[in-house]
């Protein structure tokens, strides 16, 4: 039996879906409006921004499937993959910027919130398994 997603985790998931759709739009459609100095004239800039938008949409799709199936284990798995990706982005940001900036701090905060929610979901799943 699959454990249903608790309400607080559902709200967090839907927040991630909405934010993810917004940021996918930013990266894929209007990057120049949100990132000063980005020209999207070179192939590498377009490829980097568009592929980031696609990666975000893939993550959103996985979270959406977990929410629609009401499956806590699947949502926890999606959050774990997002944590891994965000921590990778933090390392890349630290290397490229030579230190922390607003983006790396924000990604760390998001990864921490997702880690908290993952631990919360795993605890709920284990408690439900013990009762079954």
Q: With cut-offs at 50, 70 and 90, classify the pLDDT of residue 40.
A: confident
Structure confidence by residue, pLDDT tens digits, 109-120 = 999 999 999 999
Structure confidence by residue, pLDDT tens digits, 46-61 = 888 888 889 999 999 9
Q: 32 with 39: CB under 8 angstroms?
A: yes
The Cα–Cα gap between 89 and 40 comes to: 20
Residue 33 has pLDDT above 90, yes or no: no
Residue 121 has pLDDT above 80, yes or no: yes
Pairwise pLDDT comparison (42 vs 132), residue with the higher score: 42
pLDDT of residue 37: 77
Q: Residues of 73-91 as b/e, b for ≥16 C-beta within 10 angstroms?
A: ebbbebbeebbebbeebbe
Q: Which residue has the tokens 């921004």?
A: 49
Q: With cut-offs at 50, 70 and 90, classify the pLDDT of residue 1.
A: low
Average pLDDT, the chain: 92
pLDDT of residue 132: 74
Domain boundaries, the chain: 7-131
The Cα–Cα gap between 2 and 22 comes to: 30
Q: With cut-offs at 50, 70 and 90, classify the pLDDT of residue 75.
A: very high
């Amino acid at each position: 039996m699959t454990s249903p997603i608790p309400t607080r985790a559902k709200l967090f998931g839907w927040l991630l879906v909405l934010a993810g759709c917004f940021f996918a739009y930013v990266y894929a459609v209007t990057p120049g409006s949100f990132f000063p100095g980005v020209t999207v004239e070179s192939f590498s800039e377009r490829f980097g921004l568009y592929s980031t938008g696609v990666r975000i949409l893939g993550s959103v799709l996985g979270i959406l499937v977990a929410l629609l199936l009401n499956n806590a284990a699947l949502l926890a798995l999606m959050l774990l993959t997002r944590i891994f990706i965000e921590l990778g982005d933090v390392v890349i940001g630290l290397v490229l910027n030579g230190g922390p900036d607003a983006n790396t701090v924000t990604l760390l905060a998001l990864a921490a919130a997702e880690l908290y929610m993952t631990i919360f979901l795993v605890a709920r799943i284990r408690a439900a398994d013990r009762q079954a």
